[in-house]
Amino acid sequence: MEKNLSKNIILTTPIREKTAWMGKELIQKDDWIYHLSQDVIAALDANLAEIEAKKLMLNQINHGHLTIQDTNILAEFSKWADELENGYGFFLLKGLDAERYSEDQMATLYYLIGLYMGQPVTQNARGDLLGRVENVGDLKNKSTRVYETNAYLPYHTDLSDVVGLLSIRKAKQGGLSSLVSAATVYNQILEHYPEYLGYYYHPTYCDHLGDPEPSLTPIFSYWEGKLSCRYMRAYIELGHERRGIPLSSVQKQAFDIFDHFINHPDLRIDMMLEPGDMQFCNNYSVMHSRTAFEDFDELSKRRKLLRLWLKMPNARSLAEDFPGRNGIEAKVA
């Protein structure tokens, strides 16, 4: 019993590492923005030419098709991967010229960058490795994934170590990408509402819209010196509704407190992803959101982003009651 009680299961001290950033401070800096150098672009172009010469489909490309061997360039990819796990937990990558490449070429280059950092995983039952974030869904259907609409997308984390977004086109108006540090939210709850901490460590039913049944997962998990987070309130509420287990008033209040901080303007950082911009986030340390937007009438002009889910070789260890999720299992027809 004494051994179990001595384990630091609930973190009771503030997080002081780089991962605990404040949006109002970070927006004044630019060390979270990286730029593709000419050497990296040239190397990626050469890799793209090899892929095109072999006429490979995206789902046929694997690590065996990576051609970059320059150690300095490979070190860039490693630096970005390290930033995701041990730094801010996210970065913005600029320098992909949307005017120079076709949409298919941009998709391939983006996929290659993902492969140089990790392993793409499937995002739905169809087995898609590259998701298309577009306004095509029905808001009246509870099973519609919110990223397929133009509505406000609440803060959440995805089912992979890392999520990446590549902007192909912007909306007519709106559609800002917003990020918030899970560690900073944790620090705020610890300071102002410490009596609620236990509720975030207690597993709740979450409907992942890919699993046959909702599964149990806590919101926060502290393991081997790192805090991890998994959250999307709508999916938790749907999971409990499907299970027939109502959320208690105290649980709802805990979620209200959580939502208050993740939406606080001082904590979050907002950015517009310009065509060619790539954003990568660690799903255990950063929650992401998107503001509502107004689209163009013409289909060819409508907002479009491409999404990658990556399993990372340098990902943290996770506790048993906070199981890793890397992708949604594809259903074989």
pLDDT digit string, tens, across residues 262-304:
999 999 999 999 999 999 999 999 999 998 878 878 877 889 9
Interatomic CA distance for residues 7 and 162, integer angstroms = 28
| C-alpha–C-alpha distance, residues 179 and 287, integer Å | 6
Please list, residue by residue across 200-237, b when 16 or more beta carbons sit within 10 angstroms of its beta carbon and e when fewer do.
bbeebbbbbbbeeebbebbbbbbbeebbbbbbbbebbb
| pLDDT for 152 | 78
| C-alpha to C-alpha distance for 301 and 304, rounded to whole angstroms | 9
In whole angstroms, give the CA distance from residue 188 to residue 194: 9
Inter-residue contact 89 to 181 (CB < 8 Å): yes
Report how far apart, in Å, the C-alpha atoms of 280 and of each of 89, 103, 177, 272, 303 are: 8, 19, 12, 14, 19
The pair of three-digit structure tokens given for residue 170, joined into one six-digit string? 């912007």
Q: How do 173-174 and 293-294 pair as beta strands?
A: antiparallel
What is the strand order of the sheet 286-290 is part of? 153-156, 286-290, 177-181, 269-271
Strand ranges for 215-271 from DSSP E? 215-217, 220-223, 226-229, 269-271
Reported pTM? 0.91
pLDDT value at 171 more than 70: yes
Instruction: Convert the pLDDT of each residue in 90-137 to its tens digit.
Output: 999 999 999 999 999 999 999 999 999 999 999 988 889 999 988 654
- pLDDT given at position 82: 98
Nearest Cα neighbor of 331 from 127, 147, 154, 171 is 127
As to burial, measured by CB atoms within 10 angstroms (0-12 exposed, 13-18 middle, 19+ buried), residue 153 is: buried
- Region for 137 from its dihedrals, namely left if φ exceeds 0, alpha if ψ lies in -120 to 50, beta otherwise: beta
Six token digits for residue 320: 């048993």
pLDDT of res. 289: 94
DSSP per-residue codes, 146-206: GGGSSS-EEEE--SSSEEEEEEEE--SEE--EEEEEHHHHHHHHHHH-GGGHHHHHS-EEE
pLDDT bin (cut points 50, 70, 90) of residue 210 is low
pLDDT of residue 19: 98
Average pLDDT, the chain: 91
CATH class belonging to 19-311: alpha beta
The domain limits of the chain are 19-311
